[in-house]
């Protein structure tokens, strides 16, 4: 396949983990400022100082742990929540009046960061578990909890569960998107293989069948066998059973962004005229602009292959004496190649019938290629007046030879 394609999984959760990291640092500073401004009320200031020093060391040392879901293990979550609960329960030891007032606890709002880590790691059920423990610790710390205490506890409980639910929805969306991109990649690869088979093996089998029938004798039997294999292979291609490569499945914890890794050779440009010139001959007239028609190398090769497939159809269906013309137009935003012949034309409904029979020359070798390049292929045919195929490719391709989508 031209251009090495890879699927890059980027977690939509990652910004939440980065926000949690910043939250833990900022709330640590906030808790230290609260303790500093209220130091006169502490009956045992050494308890507050000791805990806040430990909390600062714990927060800074464990910052890498909250950098992502992989590093935030169950064991760490348990220890982190234990630190938060210990800080809440130690508050009355440092401030004897804490149970009778609605002042902040030692860790203050830092505790919410521990609960949010549970939500990001395990979803709403984990968040409910952690916030329930925090609620119980706050009620025990207050002794006789006030209305404000219940209000704050309920706020943390609802907010953490809501964030956990959003994370679960995001993960489900990631898995759906990953599967959709896998199917798309498999379909594109299948179509590419089908085009290659049509342009090589099927064409050879069809030629062997025609030549064998014309020669007669043992060659006719060989032609008959080649015809049977051609029909079988066309059926296999049209049924979508051509083997394909699968996109590797990572741990579907992130959203998926489709990217195309293009080699230096493949990112080069090519002059379309040089690829189409070999088709010129006694029965094919080639009209080209005077200046180079520059396209991305892969786009130029695919467009030239589509032109070759159109000329193959002329030779097969319009007869050996048919005349064909190739016209190349270099527009500011697109390149247009027109292939016209003076054959008998295509009867109405014949293309649909051919596609149903597994003859996918137009559907895959021409339209499929142009679709992958972000272009279009228009076929106009009037019985008795020949056929015209107009191929349009944008200068900046949206397909596999273009930019990442």
**Angle CA(403)–CA(404)–CA(405) in degrees, nearest 5?**
115
The predicted pLDDT at position 403 comes to 37
First to last CA, the chain: 17
- Give the DSSP letter of residue 368: I
CA distance 219 to 206: 14
Burial letters for 54-67: b for 16+ Cβ neighbours within 10 Å, e otherwise?
Answer: ebeebbeebeebbe
Sign for the pseudo-dihedral over CA of 54, 55, 58, 60 = negative
The predicted pLDDT at position 251 comes to 38
CA distance 34 to 16: 26
Mean per-residue pLDDT pooled into runs of 10, the chain (405 residues): 41 82 92 79 82 93 89 92 91 67 79 90 90 86 69 80 85 80 73 60 65 72 68 56 41 38 56 88 86 89 86 77 89 91 75 51 68 86 83 71 38
The predicted pLDDT at position 29 comes to 93
Report the SS3 class of residue 394: strand
The predicted pLDDT at position 395 comes to 85
What is the token pair recorded at 183?
């199917």
The predicted pLDDT at position 400 comes to 44
Q: Which residues contact 316 (CB under 8 A, 6 or more apart)?
A: 206
The predicted pLDDT at position 83 comes to 93
The predicted pLDDT at position 209 comes to 67
Asked whether the beta carbons of 392 and 334 are under 8 A apart, the reply is: yes
What is the token pair recorded at 1?
């396949």
> In this structure, how many other beta carbons lie within 10 angstroms of the beta carbon of residue 171?
19
CA distance 111 to 89: 12
CA distance 286 to 108: 79
Sign for the pseudo-dihedral over CA of 281, 283, 285, 286 = negative
The predicted pLDDT at position 192 comes to 65
Q: At what angle do helices 74-94 and 45-61 cross, to 10 degrees?
A: 160
The predicted pLDDT at position 387 comes to 86
Q: Where are the alpha helices (DSSP H) in 4-109?
A: 14-37, 45-61, 74-94
CA distance 81 to 118: 9
> In this structure, how many other beta carbons lie within 10 angstroms of the beta carbon of residue 7?
16
In terms of phi and psi (left: phi > 0; alpha: psi -120 to 50; beta: otherwise), the region of 148 is alpha
CA distance 233 to 220: 20
Length of the chain in residues, anyone?
405
The predicted pLDDT at position 8 comes to 39
**How many alpha carbons fall within 13 Å on the CB side of residue 377?**
22
The predicted pLDDT at position 254 comes to 39
Stated as kind and residue range, the H or E segment containing 134 is helix 124-142
Give the DSSP per-residue string, 13-29.
THHHHHHHHHHHHHHHH
């Amino acid at each position: 396949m031209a251009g090495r394609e890879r699927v890059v999984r980027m977690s939509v959760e990652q910004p939440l983990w980065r926000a949690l990291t910043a939250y833990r640092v900022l709330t640590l500073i906030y808790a230290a400022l609260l303790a500093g401004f209220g130091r006169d009320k502490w009956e045992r200031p050494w308890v507050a100082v000791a805990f806040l020093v430990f909390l600062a060391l714990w927060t800074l040392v464990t910052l890498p742990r909250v950098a992502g879901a992989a590093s935030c293990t169950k064991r760490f979550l348990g220890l982190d929540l234990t630190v938060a609960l210990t800080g809440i329960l130690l508050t009355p030891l440092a401030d004897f009046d804490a149970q009778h007032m609605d002042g902040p606890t030692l860790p203050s709002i830092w505790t919410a960061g521990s609960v949010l880590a549970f939500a990001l790691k395990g979803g709403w059920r984990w968040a409910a578990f952690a916030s329930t423990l925090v609620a119980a610790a706050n009620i025990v710390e207050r002794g006789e909890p006030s209305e404000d205490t219940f209000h704050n506890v309920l706020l943390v409980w609802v907010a953490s569960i809501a964030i956990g639910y959003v994370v679960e929805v995001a993960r489900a969306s990631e898995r759906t998107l990953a599967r959709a991109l896998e199917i798309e990649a498999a379909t594109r690869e299948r179509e590419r293989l089908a085009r290659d088979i049509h342009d090589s093996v099927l064409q050879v089998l069809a030629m062997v069948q025609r030549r064998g029938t014309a020669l007669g004798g043992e060659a006719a039997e060989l032609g008959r066998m080649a015809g049977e294999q051609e029909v079988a292979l066309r059926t296999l291609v049209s049924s979508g059973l051509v083997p394909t490569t699968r996109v590797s499945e990572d741990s579907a914890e992130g959203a998926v962004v489709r990217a195309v890794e293009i080699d230096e050779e493949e990112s080069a440009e090519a002059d379309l005229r040089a690829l189409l010139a070999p088709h010129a001959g006694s029965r094919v007239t080639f009209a080209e602009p005077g200046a180079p028609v520059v396209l991305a190398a892969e786009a130029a090769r695919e467009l030239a292959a589509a032109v070759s497939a159109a000329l193959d159809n002329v030779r097969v269906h319009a007869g050996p004496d048919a005349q064909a013309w190739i016209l190349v137009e270099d527009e500011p935003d697109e390149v247009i190649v027109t292939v016209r012949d003076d054959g008998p034309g295509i009867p109405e409904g014949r293309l649909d019938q051919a596609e149903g029979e597994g003859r996918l020359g137009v559907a895959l070798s021409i339209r499929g290629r142009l679709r992958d390049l972000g272009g279009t292929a228009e076929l106009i045919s009037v019985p008795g007046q020949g056929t015209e195929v107009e191929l349009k490719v944008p200068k900046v391709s949206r397909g596999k030879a273009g930019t990442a989508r």
